[in-house]
Structure 1
Amino acid sequence: MSPAVRSSLSESNIFAPDDVRAAVAVKTITNKGIELVDGLVLPSACIFIGGRVFLWNVPPITTSWDAWNLDHFKIFEVVIPRPEILILGTGEKSLIPPPEIKKYLSSIGVQLDVMNTWNACSTYNLLVEEGRRVAAALLPLSHRQWDNAPSPSPLTLQQ
């Protein structure tokens, strides 16, 4: 085997499909936000999908999901390839979403797993390391509202 081939093999995950982007991993979560392994701190909610991170403008979940609607999850309908699992980190505590959210995600082929954000970060990192098609939607430990950002209007969760 030539040195060039040996070098390229040592830097590649031979089990990953060619179109898989290197995953973004979470280092820790604090009251300041979600810290990535590269040191970047995301102070607000975010979505990890397909090796990328997107800020996610969502309302806080205090004790209920009243301000949430299915529009907050539409990204999972249009992204290709669609994740097989969505890990939803609901902040400091695990708060079960309304059945309509799980039903909607299931209808588009996405399994929903809900847990506190600390456990969601660990689970996401583990599943990515295993090569699974996983996404994480993570809420920080303390909610930070975006300035001047439009939000989907709170509609009922019924479709």
Structure 2
Amino acid sequence: MHRTATTLLRARGGSLLPRMTSSIRSYSSNTPKPMDDPPASQSSPMLNILSTPVGAITVSAVGTGTFTVRNTQHTGGVILVNGSVLLWDTPQFGIQANEGPFFVANGVTTTSKVESVGSVFDTWTEAPFKLFEFVHPVPEILVVGTGATMHLMPLHLRKYLNGLGMQIEIMSTRHAASTYNLLTQEGRKVAAALLPVVPTSARTGLPIVTVQTGKKPT
């Protein structure tokens, strides 16, 4: 099974980000434009997320596999940084979004009930966070939501993000969204990387794996 970590980064309103590294890919989407997007004539076709923030954004709702930001519902993981909403497709519990819904336990693929699953960060390299090497200004704080429950971030990822100049806060996704909103309202330079409560692909909108029951999604 291919385990290379990838990220799906898509700007709100369907604009695509340029490919910045070999580990970052962009996909088109039929997601409707947010109601408060500026007219196309006022901006270039490509959204420049490296520029000064265009305005504070907050998460108004967290569903089981979705996030609502600026009146638009996004499926799967999201990154909120410098006034932009990016869809974030990265492995969850060691399973790639394009590999279909199943379990991998101790290297064995199965659709039957398993006794336990590992961390949401299983198989992760730095690739899902490479975006932050190109963001300016760099956020002071990155709030990471790890799904239904809190999972400790591996030390190599924490060191990598700290090395970029960010303080890391790890918590369950619902708490992470609330914390991000509060810090944003306080005027802090904060970003959020939020995995869905139920592992869901941002690219396909389908469940990746059912962690709670150990059964293949129907």
The alpha-carbon deviation at position 63 of structure 1 amounts to 2.4
The structure 2 residue matched to 1:94, chosen from 133, 145, 150, is 150
Is residue 86 of structure 2 the alignment partner of residue 31 of structure 1? no
Asked if 2 retains the 8 angstrom alpha-carbon contact of 1:32 and 1:41, the reply is no
Asked if 1 retains the 8 angstrom alpha-carbon contact of 2:148 and 2:172, the reply is yes
Structure 2 portions without partners, runs of 5+? 1-51, 94-116, 205-218
User: Mapping of 1:63-74 within 5 angstroms?
Assistant: 63-64=118-119, 65-74=121-130
The residue identity in structure 1 corresponding to 2:81 is I
For the residues of structure 2 that align with 1:58 and 1:118, how far apart are their CA atoms? 19
Structure 1 portions without partners, runs of 5+? 1-18, 148-159
The structure 2 residue matched to 1:59, chosen from 86, 91, 100, is 91
Q: State the percentage of identical aligned residues.
A: 38
- Which of the two has greater helix per residue? 1
The residue identity in structure 1 corresponding to 2:54 is R
Q: TM-score, normalised by structure 2?
A: 0.56
Higher relative contact order (CA 8 A, sep 6+): 1
For the residues of structure 2 that align with 1:63 and 1:30, how far apart are their CA atoms? 23
The alpha-carbon deviation at position 66 of structure 1 amounts to 2.2
User: Mapping of 1:106-121 within 5 angstroms?
Assistant: 106-121=162-177
Is residue 82 of structure 2 the alignment partner of residue 50 of structure 1? yes
Q: TM-score, normalised by structure 1?
A: 0.75
Asked if 1 retains the 8 angstrom alpha-carbon contact of 2:64 and 2:198, the reply is yes
Post-superposition Cα deviations, 1:78-108, rounded to whole Å, max 9, x if no partner, equal: 1000001000000110001100111011111
The residue identity in structure 1 corresponding to 2:58 is A
RMSD: 1.4
The residue identity in structure 2 corresponding to 1:78 is F
Moved more, 95-104 or 57-66: 57-66
The alpha-carbon deviation at position 30 of structure 1 amounts to 1.4
The alpha-carbon deviation at position 23 of structure 1 amounts to 1.5
The alpha-carbon deviation at position 21 of structure 1 amounts to 1.8
The alpha-carbon deviation at position 32 of structure 1 amounts to 4.1
User: Mapping of 1:4-15 within 5 angstroms?
Assistant: none
The structure 2 residue matched to 1:84, chosen from 127, 133, 140, is 140
Moved more, 24-33 or 57-66: 57-66
For the residues of structure 2 that align with 1:76 and 1:20, how far apart are their CA atoms? 14
